[in-house]
A and B are shown apart, each in its own frame.
Chain A
Amino acid sequence: MRFTFDGRPMTGEPGDTLAAALLRNGVRVVGRSVDLGRPRGIFAAGPEEPNALVRVGADPILAATTVELHDGLEARSLRGKGRVDLDAVDERRCDKGYLHCDVLVVGGGPAGLAATLAAGRSGARVILVDDQPRLGGDLLNSRLLLDGAPALDWVAGLDLPARVLTRTTAAGYYDHNYVLAVERRARGERLWHIRARRVVLATGAHERSVAFPGNDRPGVMLAASARAYANRYGVRAGRRAVVFACADSGYEAAEDLTAAGVDVLAVVDPRPSGLPADVEVLAGQVVTGTTADAEGVLTGVRAGARHFDADLLAVAGGWNPAVHLFSQSGGRTRFDEELAAFVPGTSAQAERPAGACRGLYGTREAIADGYAAGAEAAGRTVPGLRVPECGERPLRRPAALWLVERTPGSEPAFADLHRDVTVADLARATGTGMRSVEHVKRYTTAGTGADQGKTSGAVVVGVMSALLGAAPGQVGTTTFRPPYTPVSFATLAGRDRGALSDPVRTTALHDAHVARGAVFEDVGQWKRPWYFPRDGEDMEAAVRRECHAARTAVAAMDASTLGKIDIRGADAGEFLDRVYTNMYSTLAVGACRYGVMCGADGMVFDDGTTTRLADDHYLTTTTTGNAAAVFDWLEEWRQTEWPDLDVSFTSVTDHWATVAVAGPRARQVIAAVAPEAVELAFMRYASVPVLGVPGRVFRISFSGELAYEVNVPWRYGRALWEAVLELGAVPYGTETMHVLRAEKGFAIVGQETDGTVTPQDLGMGWIVSARKPDFVGKRSHARPDTARQDRKRLVGLLADDPAALVEEGAQLTAAGVAPMLGHVTSSYHSAALGRTFSLAMARNVSPGDRLTAVSGNVAHPVTVVEPVFYDPDNTRRDGDPLVESPAPYAGECRSESPAAAFAARFEAASTPRAHLREVPFEPMWEVRGTDPGAGLRLGPDWWLVTGDVPPRPGWVDVSGQRTVLELAGPAAHDVLITGCPIDLDPSVFPGHAQTLLAKTSVILERVSPETYRIYVRSSFARYLAEWLIDALEAL
């Protein structure tokens, strides 16, 4: 394999890490340290690497020990900091996945493999994750024989009854046994979210170094890492080596280095006696320093009086169990004196460490421990689990050596290699009065480097315990935080990028708007037409034209996004009386009434019109932005405060497409599309055919003109819109809607209000019923600050210059300086008035007062007026009479399903493995109360009935509220688990469920083992369709 390092061409072997390949090519200096600029080489063989931080392609900074070599790889050295490539385009496609299991085993070394066997054979659902390309853990790095054969033969011979994820690093352990694991794939990482009943942590242990003078030179390396390079990669990290063996693993490293052809000169062992070895053993000695050449690369090792010419110093400082995930899970570690290491103590969750990660470093004991852990996790022991034989020596107690004292003039002794923190730095920290390891970490930055404390943590604690004269257990460790290894931003974002970063909600009319060249605005997640420019008009011209049409002829708007809630029950009127400020129980059947809703704090929360369809049946509308919040609010009050009230709520926001037809000639259009509604009185409603299909017409006006809100089921929405426009209505968008209502002085929630405004502040004291004993928020209106007379109120403003548009957000003052009296909330050019006008919230002002509106550097003189600018006596409300009865609209009322526009793309993206289609239309009802005996149960006393079933009283028609997408094939499940968090395993999935898919609520139904039906809100159908197509394209 060919690669380059700092532009120098090199070659490596398949299976190499970049670090192994660099060593193979004799590269000793890989970068410079971040603060001191000292040359640094490769220190370790895994993610605990603190030195060999390099840029790889567009990756700003990576440990070379974690990078799998590939052909064409380009790497560059760094000085401790990564470099973001401003021009790189990230072509990776990162994805997510949601898995559930009975037992999650983290780590595929001896203990983890054993646990997987034991748990899996007992019948539990098991997932095994391991961060290497192959299983085996430390067995990959050793020459150990099991049952007389290479250890990897034992591994290869295991039949693991589990889902095995290799190249997958468990990065975070969260509440309730939720583990995040990053799987590395060439095309982009996959972020697995695993919910496990029980977890076995078999995460192994990291070797640690010792803080002796000159311990950072290129050539100084962890002993087990040097051994790994020799055994696993066939790379000699040096030619002449000294081994610093504070633990017996140093001797194993010495043997393996010798077997690889390295000349091992000596083993230096601080303990009183050494082990038998083929090389000289200096017992009771420590490494006291190193020497280097002109480039700072290791040339020699000093141990007291002795000096060795060596280019490799392999340090076996002892072992730190990898307790990071254990600690993240909430478990408490404790310091084990025998092992001189922090080990897992009390578990906080349903989790158990096994093997080296709990201090059992021998292979046989790790395997035995793994079997026990797996059995315990699965809740069953199975027979036939055998521990293979091997010739390991029992391990002696390691030397609890953290630092070697410096002599004056000797090289610094490093505690944290990445952050360039020396023992002297740590001493200085404790000298300030700092006693906590957390303080010292922050003062020196030790432990905050790329290795996230894996090599530095224990050394820091050890050094501090020496400095403070306290036991390491008293000093404690810093808290381990996710992620265990660095995780890229793109990996965490997954496919929630660009257009998929948040759902786009669209109405049934959306494609018609696009075709008509509408300019859209974002209202929450919705795309709403802002204005419809014609012939290169700018916004001002378009809005002027649209307004003119609405006030002189007829215009139409897509009002589908407003929330619509169907409310039924004997106590529906009583309930509405309690949540609105006004009365609804007295509303006549067939009448509409505008209402305002407050929070408990008395501030305006939402508004809309509510219509009484029958004695026990109302339809409430909400603002677009608050639809979901109001729907939840109603449910909260009913369930938690008034469970005795007989009332239920069903969202029909997507079921009904709504076209608002406004203007003096609106009657002409209504006569053609809904002739039975032509005689409707103001604020009345009729359930009548619209274009021949069952519809609803409400005579409600937000503009002050004659206006109707025409509703048809979603699938006929586009046909209705096209018909209305064909009949001469001019399409208008939200900007025109805003202008028209502002001319009439109608406040908009979220524009005139900001959560601090009461109905009385808006001049709507009339809507606050004096008759009702109570309603939500009423008591707050009586509080001193809420009842005072000098609060800001809704006013109108006219600028002295009729052409000057005072900016929304301008602050109102008496003379251009503080104090501020209020601010401008709405401001427009008015076609009808032939000038600009504004609405504002201001205190202590009256009509006629002169103010200055300040916006940036501009100050407009304005006059306060009543907040109604157009037709204050509402004379235009009834519009023009019908000139002649037009013929009913003869065009087709075509039906179009929510995902109809995706049919071709669904087909193109489908394969035999996963096929996606929209299911043809079927009627649907939501039922509350009595079990219908059919359909899907959605919750307590709540069902969805689908099909040609005759509806019973109380059933709510929701045929347009959702559409159904069908995903079928052997890979359907794999597609779903990229975005559905629940357990779909047949053993637990009850056949259907309401849950999330990607970022939208769905009903998920498994109709057959390989066929799923996804019921999605029609307004989210476009988003989910794009998401599913994107998922299919990645399969």
Chain B
Amino acid sequence: MKLELRGITKRFGSLVANDHIDLVVEPGEIHCLLGENGAGKSTLMNVLYGLYQAEEGDILLDDSVQHFEGPGDAMRAGIGMVHQHFMLIPVFTVAENVMLGHEETKAGGRLNLDAARARVREISARFGFDVDPDALVGDLPVGIQQRVEIIKALSRDASVLVFDEPTAVLTPQETDELMTIMRQLKSEGTSIVFITHKLREVREVADRITVVRLGKIVGEASPTASNSELAALMVGRNVELTVHKEPARPGAASLVVEHLDVIDANGIKVVNDVSFEVHEGEILAIAGVQGNGQTELTEAILGIQPRTNGSISLNGTRLNGQSVKKVLNAGVGFVPEDRTHDGLVGEFTIAENLMLDRSDQQPFVKGGTLQLKALNDFAEEKKREFDIRAESITTHAGRLSGGNQQKVVLARELSRELKLFVASQPTRGIDVGSIEFVHKRMVETRDAGVPVIVVSTELDEVVALADRIAVMYRGSIVGIVPGDTPRDVLGLMMAGETGVAA
């Protein structure tokens, strides 16, 4: 089916998220929508899927104008969507999830599960998915869950499939498999819209590439374009994609983690017997697919995880079992994975956020009273130094862009005297320009002799920054390898293959 968007405009208040966007997706084509976070790609797809109503513009399917009041209409018209965060019910089986929303019933209102099972088997066989219709979705690995999403869309005879950042949660191998599936779908005549900000994937599968920036279409590119050409289109200027760094000059082992277990609130061991050390002046990257214990590991170092076994010590001082306050005072800088959730108080000003972890210390507090002058001077200085783009230091942190929010967090954490710097997903959801800046600061921190831990699910980032790489899988460290380890080896390790590390 041919999909055409004509002059789609969507506003949120004064923000124009989509500005007269025209897009044509031919039948049997993989059309990539490439753009940075916040460029308006997902908004556009939500308009297409009927979740948002566009202020202007038309959606055409095979040249007839469509009016979608909601996702139900879009689905009936043959549009399917595979969401980044799966819309599946974990306690339902695959078949139940697939039939959800258009359940067939037998006499007396009983669900016709057999029909759903047959449907799952049929689609699954057609594409070689290997999905058991009676498996509980919650028990399936993410890659398979994604296939359930695809089956769900296909079972409603979708002839236009939208994939919204589908690879964010996948291992490199699962990503490759997904690419194969996309090609297969394409050969069956399905039109595919593939939303991503990862250049490598785009070049691999796309037939055509449309680049979106700040809500507008800024250009088309062919899959043969180079990474830096695509990046320049995305960002609107030339960007440095590689991080310049000298070889590390590691000093003494500073952070020593031995046989660390972390047990979560449900009593599950989310970090299992992890041991490693980080030396002064080196960056240890912790790679792995989201949700393999990296978050809990960093939280254990900071002291927010209540139940840990084993030991974490920094320069001989034991950290675990200490309060967060003591850990911070021992010289640990921490950039949390989710800055809006754990890193910033959105309703606080930039200045207030900059003193968040020193709310009882000089120079910001004397005799229990805030020293507003000292705080403002400090904030002005950091705003300049870290190039935080905001009207003033009294702007609320919640109103900053992701990149500027991250700069506030970095400014706060790097302005204390550090003995260890832990950054979790430091560039997630921020613009390419800010990524450059963040990476530069992290290398500088390393060069100042501070041990640095970077947790990242993006292989590009891991490879760019790491002096050594620890790969985590299901709560354990699969292996610790040098920073120049080839990607395919890392990919296999991320999938849990231990043999390759050696």
A binds B: no
